[in-house]
Amino acid sequence: MRVLGIESTCDETAAAVVELRPNGSGAILSNEVHSQIAEHAAYGGVVPEIAARAHVEILDHLVRRALDKAGMRFSDVDGVAAAAGPGLIGGVMVGLTTGKALALAGGKPFVAINHLEAHALTARLTDGVDFPYLLLLVSGGHTQLIAVRGVGEYTRIGATVDDAIGEAFDKVAKMLHLPYPGGPQVEKEARSGDPAAFELPRPMLRRPGADFSLSGLKTAVRLEIQKLGREPRPADIANLCASFQAAIVDVIGDRTRAGLRLFREQFGPPKALVVAGGVAANQAIGHALTRLTTQVGVKLIIPPPGLCTDNGAMIAWAGLERLRLGMTDGMDFAPRPRWPLDASASAAHNGKA
């Protein structure tokens, strides 16, 4: 079984072909990604209208390249999967409409994919992890702890009540006039800074539950910049980044530990802690989670960076997971700017999801 996957929910345009092997494992035959960083750099963030236009201009070329690199014609594909949300509605519409059109024209089954589900299932493609496991999703738009119990079976254990972790990284970078995208720049500056130079809060630390809150930490950084009374010097920038990142690491460690405890209480021992989303590439966070999982005796799985950020392979794999269970969607499936994995989760949790 081979599925073409299309991703266009934010500022990456992607198309990929993934194959299901007879033993149930997956193989990535192609994974084409076009990043729009250059188009948005001047604005210091993603501009939805520019993103949607860029998807329109490049997507058909990426689909063709993905098929060519997989050594296939479209007639060789067994199904088409496209991200249908959550995300920037203009971009979502481009990818979803393209996927529907290809499936309809070729007489192929169509699968509408929740972008968050694709992140949740990626570790099954890369590492073959069994259900159930705990997912820590940390990106520019999402911060969630999700119990992954099966395909289509998700329970939200914790989430941010305000900003996502990646968003907090990007906003701190913007306050310090660091280049876009800000998250990697903050991590780079933090390597030469003193994490104890500024006393910053650790929101929600040791609170009941496993929710996150980042807005207070972001505000604390802004107040420290104001206290300097001048443009931050290179040493100030490095120290602020290091102090901010240290606070984030502490919060993630505490909230994830709480999430693992709640998971065990509700579902028994998890098969693994899986980390996904662009922030998963942060090495300080990765080291902290390695220490945590070693202490509590849980396997840690962090897929390769290129499969943690938005990509077509994760959409194709989620499509395969659903298609082999007989789950398909009609041509009337509507794009969804918001689409929580756990339908019963409180709307107050991570409104961007």
The dihedrals phi and psi of 300, each to the nearest 5 degrees, come to: -105, 130
Question: Model confidence over 273-320: pLDDT tens digits?
Answer: 999 999 999 999 999 999 999 999 999 999 999 999 999 999 999 999
Question: Model confidence over 233-249: pLDDT tens digits?
Answer: 999 999 999 999 999 99
Q: Which residues lie below 8 Å from residue 294, measured CB to CB, with a gap of 6+?
A: none
Kindly compute the dihedral angle of the four CA atoms of residues 60, 65, 70, 71, in this order, to the nearest 10 degrees.
100
Distance CA 278, CA 184 (A): 10
Asked if 320 contacts 1 with a C-beta cutoff of 8 angstroms, the reply is yes
Pairing of strands 300-301, 273-276: parallel
Listing DSSP states for 198-236 in one string gives S----TTTT-SSS-B--HHHHHHHHHHHHHH-SPPPHHH
Q: What is the mean pLDDT of residues 45-53?
A: 88
The SS3 of residue 16 is strand
Distance CA 159, CA 318 (A): 22
For 129-158, what is the HEC assignment?
Answer: CCCCEEEEEECCCCEEEEEEEECCEEEEEE
The dihedrals phi and psi of 121, each to the nearest 5 degrees, come to: -95, -5
**pLDDT of the residue at 316:** 98
Q: Which residue has the tokens 């007639």?
A: 75
Structure tokens given for 323: 């298609």
Question: Model confidence over 78-127: pLDDT tens digits?
Answer: 999 999 999 999 999 999 999 999 999 999 999 999 999 999 999 999 99
Tell whether the model's pLDDT for residue 349 goes beyond 70: no
**pLDDT of the residue at 344:** 67
Q: What angle is formed at CA 173 by the lines to CA 170 and CA 179, rounded to 5 degrees?
A: 100
Tell whether the model's pLDDT for residue 345 goes beyond 70: no
Identify how many contiguous H helices and E strands the chain contains and give both numbers: 11, 10
Distance CA 297, CA 294 (A): 5
**pLDDT of the residue at 44:** 79
Question: Which domains occur in the chain, in start order?
Answer: 2-126+309-323 (3.30.420.40), 133-302 (3.30.420.40)
Greatest alpha-carbon pair distance for the chain in Å reads 64
Q: Which residue has the tokens 């395969």?
A: 320
Task: Please give the share of the chain, as a percent, with pLDDT higher than 70.
Answer: 97
Q: Which residues lie below 8 Å from residue 329, measured CB to CB, with a gap of 6+?
A: 110, 111, 112
Pairing of strands 2-7, 12-20: antiparallel
Structure tokens given for 285: 């966070």
Q: What angle is formed at CA 150 by the lines to CA 145 and CA 151, rounded to 5 degrees?
A: 100
The mean predicted confidence, pLDDT, of the chain is 94
**pLDDT of the residue at 340:** 92
